[in-house]
Structure 1
Amino acid sequence: MTESVLKPSIAPLSPQVQIRRLVWKIAIATFLLMAVGSTTRVMNAGLACPDWPLCYGQFLPFEQMNIRVFLEWFHRLDAALVGFSAIALAGLSWWWRSQLPPWLPYAATFALGSILVQGILGGLTVTELLRFDIVTAHLGTALLFFCTLLAIGAALMPYNATGTGKYLSGLGLTAAIAIYLQSLLGALVASQWALHQCLWGSHLCAVMNSHLIGVIPATLSTLAVIIFAWRTPALHPTLRILANSAALLVLLQILLGVATYRFRLQVEILTISHQAIGAALLGVLVMFSVLARRNVTQSQSFP
């Protein structure tokens, strides 16, 4: 019996499967990138490397290395890996475009463009000494890139539509936009240290209060998604899981926000977790919206 008969044949993965796996890996790396970026800000390490793109003129500054320098250096390393992965995603999408959905190369190109803008903003945060508007745009672009990846991944997932929940996609998109805008307000508060300045000096209270008021539409729109999902009969199991995840995340986010306010940003892990849970909630809502859209369009195409 020959060796070829003994070994089971393994079919090569299709381009769509390979692209989908790459997208999920980049999305995970991007989530970690934002978490490390939040840690860098909370630890006052944003200018630990005074130059850009190198750190103290070196790729790895051994002599200057400490926890703050390491955080900033690792943040840049992760950003570079995400950037190169985005180039690979766009390149492969165009190379295999005849075997992929026609929209995919354009979506991948948009993702690549957003990460290039993100890289430029990352450099400007250093050269412009953490200017608050640039820092806010830096996070906003990162979240946009993250959402684009999750939308692509959700659109490429194997999914058997049930045709239920006609309005869930619009509700999910509305909630996602509300959470995104609330995240930008949170970035404005963080980049200007508005909570500290308002509590101790009565400065920038309008900025902080705008974030507090923004909790209302963001929470109500998310609750609408959750309630309508729970009340929709025969809802796809994946959509039900995402709705339940959104319920847990929005509860955690509110608790973390209250704790962060009560402890006046003195507990770093609370501040970092607050931003990470917000990004996770945004991602869940984006995936929910895309899959809910597929739930209706696929069932209409294939009755």
Structure 2
Amino acid sequence: MRKFSIGPDEGSAHTDWRLRLALAGCVLTLVVVVLGAFTRLVDAGLGCPDWPGCYGQLTWPSEAHEIQQANAAYPDTPVETDKTWPEMVHRYFAGLLLLLVFGLTILTWRRRGQRAFIQVHILLALVLLQAAFGMWTVTLKLWPQVVTAHLLGGMAILSMLWLIAERLRNRGRSIPVQEYRLLQKLRPLAFITVGAVVVQIALGGWTSSNYAALACADFPTCHGQWWPPMDFREGFNIAQRIGPNYLGGALESDARTAIHVTHRIGALVVTILVLSLAALAWRAGSRRWALGLAAVLALQVSLGIANVVMFLPLPIAVAHNAGAALLLLGLLTFCYRIQTAQPRR
């Protein structure tokens, strides 16, 4: 039995359109996140040396005369056609997302009294900030701090769109009192787990932006040792200077090893937290949620291990980014459902 509380004009076609746009935005944002991962993994982050165009034009240079003109205008960064198109396709989809969020904001302004008003404006601010990070990624030549923040921005936009969709659907459900009480006790652990996953995603971004994904080529050990030589101070020096070009990374081997091992430790912490949450959810009676969270976690851990033992194959590395997004959305949804659940009397 489900119980929905719909406001005076929440069931209008206007609200339906907001919900449709929010769900479409979730799909589009996931595409943008995956395209961003693909662009980063094929080393195309500087495929276009300028922003928002590419070598001074709206599309990437493809014809012989266009490439010649681009090389003349940017002699220090000659055109590499296999790197220009991933960067520009990523920008096109990001531009579509910006237009979609603008449309959602306009619809929200037309009916200011409806739910999710504040969340939509937070979303708009996030998208504008994300566009700035996209520009800085190019102008600051793949500075790891900006690249990592750019990844987190994409995840934040995806999360906000999903929560807006959840709020518009008003998924408040009525559950037995005993199950309600047990789930309420899980709230602190659920929120801690979400925070741990966000930190782990940041560590993943830091690992990728510093080209440390292959710093350890074996598993579960690293260089045949459980605790190899590592330079944490240099690996996590967020005050590092902006170099002329960070493509390929600038850290020594021990610093990259420290980043990689820290990401593995983070994965272990997240695994313990998610499995604990799933086990307690099972005991509380939410067995579908328990199985779903455990399944997404198993998939994500498997992809992470495969990245190491298979030397970072492109499809698996891209899927690892998508898996992080799905795990985050699953946990956020679980938290939201706990928050909005009502005891059945």
TM-score by length of structure 2 reads: 0.76
Q: Which residue in the other structure is 1:72 paired with?
A: 87
Letter in 2 for 1:246: L
Tell whether 2:293 aligns with 1:251.
Answer: no
Q: Is the 8 A contact 2:187 2:335 kept in 1?
A: yes
Tell whether 2:155 aligns with 1:143.
Answer: yes
SS of the equivalent of 1:195 reads coil
Q: Which residue in the other structure is 2:142 paired with?
A: 130
Q: Which residue in the other structure is 2:328 paired with?
A: 282
CA distance in 1, matches of 2:131, 2:291: 34
Q: Which residue in the other structure is 2:3 paired with?
A: none
| Unaligned 5+ runs, structure 1 | 1-11
Q: Percent identity, aligned pairs only?
A: 28
Q: Which residue in the other structure is 1:8 paired with?
A: none
Q: Is the 8 A contact 2:147 2:209 kept in 1?
A: yes
CA distance in 1, matches of 2:167, 2:148: 29
Q: Per-residue deviation at 1:67?
A: 3.8
Tell whether 2:202 aligns with 1:184.
Answer: yes
Letter in 1 for 2:298: L
Q: Is the 8 A contact 1:40 1:46 kept in 2?
A: yes
CA distance in 1, matches of 2:282, 2:262: 31
Match 2:310 to one of 260, 263, 288: 263
CA distance in 2, matches of 1:95, 1:221: 42
CA distance in 1, matches of 2:58, 2:316: 31
Deviation by residue 1:191-227 (Cα, 9 ceiling, x = unmatched): 0012345669334222111111111221122112211
Letter in 2 for 1:176: V
Q: Alignment RMSD, CA only?
A: 2.1
Letter in 2 for 1:287: T
Q: Per-residue deviation at 1:13?
A: 4.5
Give the alignment of 1:190-205 within 5 angstroms. 190-197=208-215, 201-205=253-257
CA distance in 1, matches of 2:51, 2:289: 39
Q: Per-residue deviation at 1:255?
A: 0.9
CA distance in 1, matches of 2:216, 2:106: 48
Deviation by residue 1:257-295 (Cα, 9 ceiling, x = unmatched): 111112232x11111111110111101111111111111
Letter in 2 for 1:289: C
Q: Per-residue deviation at 1:230?
A: 1.3
CA distance in 1, matches of 2:266, 2:255: 19
CA distance in 1, matches of 2:289, 2:196: 17
Deviation by residue 1:88-118 (Cα, 9 ceiling, x = unmatched): 22222122122x12xx111110011011111
Match 1:222 to one of 260, 267, 274: 274
Structure 1's 246 and 67: CA in aligned 2 closer, same or farther, altered over 3 A? Answer: farther
Structure 1's 154 and 244: CA in aligned 2 closer, same or farther, altered over 3 A? Answer: farther
Q: Per-residue deviation at 1:81?
A: 0.7
Question: If each structure's helix is expressed as a fraction of its own residues, which one has the higher value?
Answer: 1
Give the alignment of 1:90-169 within 5 angstroms. 90-98=105-113, 100-101=114-115, 104-159=116-171, 160-162=173-175, 164=180, 165-169=183-187
| Unaligned 5+ runs, structure 2 | 1-10, 68-79, 218-222, 224-252
CA distance in 1, matches of 2:105, 2:288: 30
Q: Per-residue deviation at 1:168?
A: 3.5
Structure 1's 134 and 27: CA in aligned 2 closer, same or farther, altered over 3 A? Answer: same
Q: Is the 8 A contact 1:139 1:187 kept in 2?
A: yes
CA distance in 2, matches of 1:94, 1:171: 36
Give the alignment of 1:32-51 within 5 angstroms. 32-51=31-50
Structure 1's 154 and 170: CA in aligned 2 closer, same or farther, altered over 3 A? Answer: farther
CA distance in 2, matches of 1:158, 1:152: 10
Letter in 2 for 1:250: L
Structure 1's 167 and 17: CA in aligned 2 closer, same or farther, altered over 3 A? Answer: farther
Q: Which residue in the other structure is 1:52 paired with?
A: 51
How many positions carry a matched residue from both structures?
A: 279
Letter in 2 for 1:175: T
Q: Which residue in the other structure is 2:233 paired with?
A: none
Q: Which residue in the other structure is 2:96 paired with?
A: 81
Q: Is the 8 A contact 2:215 2:260 kept in 1?
A: no
Q: Which residue in the other structure is 2:339 paired with?
A: 293
Moved more, 190-199 or 116-125: 190-199
Structure 1's 91 and 167: CA in aligned 2 closer, same or farther, altered over 3 A? Answer: farther
